Chain A
Amino acid sequence: MTATKVMPLNPVPDTGPDTSEPGTVAPRPVLQVSSVDKIYGNGTVALKGADLTVKQGEFVSLLGPSGCGKSTLLRIMAGLGQVTTGNVRWWEQDYGVVGSRGRKLAFVFQNATLMPWARVRKNVRLPLDLEHAGKSEDVEQKIDDALGMVGLKGFDNSFPRELSGGMQMRASIARAMVTEPNLLLMDEPFGALDEMTRNKLNDDVLKLWKEKGWTIVFVTHSVYEAVYLSSRVVVMAARPGRIVDDIAIEESYPRSPNFRVSTEFAGYCRQVSQALERASAMGEDRDEERQP
């Protein structure tokens, strides 16, 4: 029987807020994933020896073929999944810092994952309500700010069904923002949106990331999206899910839409695509090895 290691979730003393900004020298590691294996009860090896360090202020994209364990890894990073072996550290500490003082994780799901029965404002304030933040002016201001930043001012009283897919996703991002997270984990958040909306939201996320000094781990299937957004693209292979490449995108921020049509962008896309092809081939080789 495989022993499942349960990550301790007890709060320990906070080590103080992160002060490092994106681009500063020697930023602190926010997340350290060390030799993580994840084996499901049915024997499926979802992750094998995953090693990844994400530093303060980085924008890291996880890219790989379907079934390579991107989402599994992201959920483990959020403290939502248990590792079979290995270790995950948040802010250099061995505990799930989810929701503890000064260290906040927020997760943006593939779907907007809004409460359909609640109006937009109530959806956005949910994390604050869950933390018993009350209804002070400060809290209301935070909600107003979050709604304003994602361009949903004036939609407070709408129900999610009254919004377009892109607007629902914006509400979901506002809900993540309202807690002022230190680490934002996004699981293919724009995968179901049209190209135009997706590009617009990419720019919005980049702007917020820069303004707020967030650290973002972003799962995507799109090479173009990964290159446009990220400071690093981590490429994963399937069967078993593992990290096979880590490509730095050394284009400076802010990145304008012109970057999308530049030769540098094309070069990075080619490099990442080739890494992705190699990763896909690794998965197929494993499949062939398994053929009788």
Chain B
Amino acid sequence: MKAPLIRNERFVQIGAPLLVGVLVLLMWQLTVMAFDVPKYLVPSPVDIGQSLVSDFPSLFNALLMTLKVTFLAFAIAVMAGVSASLLFVQSKWIEISLFPYAVLMQVTPVVAIAPLIIIWVDDTTWALTICAVIVAIFPIISNTTLGLRSVDPNLLSMFRMYRTSRWQELVRLRIPSALPYFFGGLRISSGLALIGAVVAEFVAGTGGAQAGLAYMILQSGYNLQIPRMFAALILITVTGILLFALMVWMSDRALRNWHESALKVEH
């Protein structure tokens, strides 16, 4: 006999938050209609939906620009972050000497240094990318370094008994051990890359062909096109959620056979 849908874990995982979302939107729509709230103050979900459709070409172009900066920054943060971690685990001295500078990047507010970067770097895309990298890189460095160091001491002893090279130790032991930590870093960093890109766009205020979603929000605010502002905001949020979901999927694919975080427990 087929089990009822409510018992289906996958259905519940998707259905429950979706139901909450639909209820909130319904309440929102009804409240706006009941109190006759003007569009320029709080637009209704229907107004935002209409804006999403009517302004789709400009919103989509802006989304592509933001995505370009986000993915570029994320890729650079992953490569540079992993390289830094690999360097750190080679020697405690290297880690002690360089790690404070990684922390420095983390604690420096990007809005404070973004104007400088935008002045120094001619190309707007690269200027925005550098800002987003600064925001996104720390979780990768921090998590991956922790993972590369969190090796089973007995396994490490065994590797040393066989007098393995540092390369073998890294490839066969440290990197696989670090994977769960690395993927944890990816989940945080992917969202931060998007936030970094948006914040940098706000500071840069770049319009024209290079306008991203942040510029759309600014421009819509100035013109009191609040539904379009919400539409741009929704696109940023949805992008963030999709990025996070992609990282979760990748992590599950890589770890599903062995790591507790990705194992399906049967009761």
> Which residues of A come within 8 Å of B, CB atoms?
9, 75, 78-80, 98-99, 105, 107, 109-111, 113, 115-118, 126-127, 129-131, 159-161
Contact = CB atoms under 8 A, between A and B. Distances in A.
Interface residues of B, number: 20
A159 B257 contact: yes
B258 interface: yes
A243 to B, nearest CB: 23
A78 B161 CA distance: 8
A80 to B, nearest CB: 5
Nearest to A175: B158
Q: Is the contact region of chain B dominated by helix, strand, or loop, or is it mixed?
A: helix
Nearest to B176: A117
Interface of B: 152, 154-155, 157-164, 168, 172-173, 176, 179, 257-259, 263
Nearest to A110: B154
Contact of B161 (A98, A116, A118, A129): A98
A75 B158 CA distance: 11
Contacts of B160: 80
A9 B161 CA distance: 11
B161 A80 contact: yes
5 contacts: A78-B157, A80-B157, A115-B155, A116-B258, A131-B162
Contacts of A111: 154
A97 to B, nearest CB: 11
Contacts of B258: 116-117, 159-161
A160 B259 CA distance: 11
Nearest to A98: B161
Q: Is the contact region of chain A dominated by helix, strand, or loop, or is it mixed?
A: loop
Given A78-B157, A79-B161, 7 more contacts: A109-B157, A113-B154, A115-B173, A117-B176, A126-B158, A130-B162, A130-B172
A84 B161 CA distance: 20
A99 B179 contact: no
A280 to B, nearest CB: 27
Contacts of A105: 161
Contacts of A9: 163
Contacts of B173: 115
Contact of A113 (B152, B162, B259): B152
B176 A127 contact: no
A130 B160 CA distance: 10
Contacts of B164: 130
The 3 nearest A-B residue pairs measured at CB: A113-B154, A130-B162, A116-B258
